[in-house]
Amino acid sequence: MRLLFLFGLVLLPLQGRAAGMGYDEARLLLNRTGFAASENQVNEFAKLSREQAVERILRGARDMVVTAPPAWVNDPITPPRILRNLSPEERKTKRQEEIRKGIELRAWWLQEMIATPSPLTEKMTLFWHNHFVSSQQKVRYSKLMYQQNVLLRKYALGNFGELLHAVSKDPAMIVYLDSATNRKGHPNENFAREVMELFTLGEGHYTETDVKEAARAFTGWSIEPETGEFRWRPFFHDDGIKTVLHKSGNLEGDAVLDILLAQPDTADFIVAKMWREFIAPTPDPREVARIADQFRGSHYEIKIALRAILLSDAFYSQNNRALLIKSPVELVVGTLRQFDFSVPDALPFAFAAAQLGQNLFSPPNVKGWPGGEAWINSATLLARKQFLERLFRAQEMPQLMRTALKEKAKANGAGKLGMEQRERLVQAMEGIQFDADRWLSQFNVDPRAQAERLVLATAPVDRIDGHARGLELIREITRDPVYQLE
């Protein structure tokens, strides 16, 4: 019986080739562009050709969320002028309020990742969050972080040039990279350097002089402290002649961004980064150059580059399977989506992702999360295993999590949670539901083999030929080191 079934598995993709891309390629495509596809989705996409499948995914892109953001995103900010005049006690209260808002923001985004009909949209929003990095640690105002997230989503699959111009004037970015203090005669080079090194050209494709000159061009970009909106301050702008990458003139900030966009290095840099996100850690330079040409030729339409990547031979190559290590967010959201967890409130997972090394809205530095093998060290690997262990003991979880709460709270700043949010956290954990038997019931031939084929990117390492059933079977599969890969 088992032998017959395995034989069938080998035949299936061959049969499918003529009509569609087949199960394995469909699974690969859906998982690399989303968060752990379901068996039904994979079967549906298996019938499509690669081109049809990629078109359907790209067409599904959105620029709005389906999850309502916290109500406070519409409230005005408390300007620094008022904060400065508060008593130390009041200031502390304000700070804690901002921290609580930040936690709610993380929960909101994770909820959206769980709920969205277009996982690719959220994946690309996260990709740009890790590219155009800003961190709440420095920006402080949760509202500005929210607004930046909205902006990144708006352009997530739009035009990279427009995104670059917009995010460079985004208030959170203005604060994060010190543009507001970059003034004529007293340049602050932070933004000028990072826009070249990390946002466009990449290290080694510009000189120190370019940085200094560009910083002069960006002077005058600032924010209005009362509202937290972008503000142009001509008085602080240096309107002398600057030379950036051999282009001279009375350059202002937008002109410098256009100079950066005109450099072929920019398209190469972005495409190579997309390659590492969607295909494998080591980009193929010739393929990157080919796709970058199309990208630049389209004036930086992100969908053009992404389509080329998703239709490249390298994407489907057997040599590139299972080479990506899941990010904490991919692991957490993917697990919740994969196993049909019911998650009325994603708040607990904001802490979980942070503990695994990816605290949304707070990347470690302007370079973002390094990703890849850096996700896995002894501390984070153990945290991942513990997370899965606890998650799948869904019934015992409320108590377990309560016990763990204190410990976690200390590590992740939840100690600053107010009573209200603490209560919300406990309720959120009690609301998490999962039915292993129901989930497994969709596999009627050989549940273990079928579940493994859906859940694992390649053959498991710990081949325990056990007789595990139900929840135990799922725990065994997710405990395998291969579960960390995609």
Name the helix (H) or strand (E) containing 4.
helix 2-19
Using alpha carbons only, give the angle 127, 129, 133 rounded to the nearest 5 degrees.
125
Q: How far is the CB of 377 from other proteins (least distance, A)?
A: 4
Q: How far is the CB of 136 from other proteins (least distance, A)?
A: 15
Q: How far is the CB of 159 from other proteins (least distance, A)?
A: 27
Q: Which of 89, 67, 91, 71 is nearest to 80 (CA)?
A: 91
The one-letter code for the residue type at 57 is: I
In terms of CB distance, is 376 or 468 closer to other proteins?
376
User: Token match 């120190």: residue?
Assistant: 208
Q: Which residues bind other proteins (CB under 8 A)?
A: 178, 181, 183, 186-190, 193, 197, 203, 208, 211, 281, 322-325, 357, 365-367, 372-374, 376-383, 385-386, 389, 407, 411, 458, 461-462, 479, 481-482, 484-485
Give residue 161's Cα distance to chain centre: 20
CA 238, 242, 247, 248 dihedral sign is positive
Q: How far is the CB of 457 from other proteins (least distance, A)?
A: 10
- Convert 14-32 to b/e letters by CB count within 10 Å (16 or more is b): eebeeebbbbbbbbbbbbb
Q: CA end-to-end span of the chain, whole Å?
A: 29
Q: How far is the CB of 332 from other proteins (least distance, A)?
A: 17
In terms of CB distance, is 122 or 197 closer to other proteins?
197
In terms of CB distance, is 373 or 420 closer to other proteins?
373
Q: How far is the CB of 181 from other proteins (least distance, A)?
A: 4
In terms of CB distance, is 183 or 237 closer to other proteins?
183
Across-strand partners of 222?
Answer: 231
Q: How far is the CB of 110 from other proteins (least distance, A)?
A: 21
Cα–Cα distance for residue pair 437/453, rounded to 1 Å: 18
Q: Which of 35, 39, 87 is nearest to 57 (CA)?
A: 35
In terms of CB distance, is 153 or 326 closer to other proteins?
326
Q: How far is the CB of 186 from other proteins (least distance, A)?
A: 3
Using alpha carbons only, give the angle 129, 133, 137 rounded to the nearest 5 degrees.
110
In terms of CB distance, is 241 or 382 closer to other proteins?
382
Contact 294/273 with Cβ under 8 angstroms? no
Name the helix (H) or strand (E) containing 100.
helix 88-115
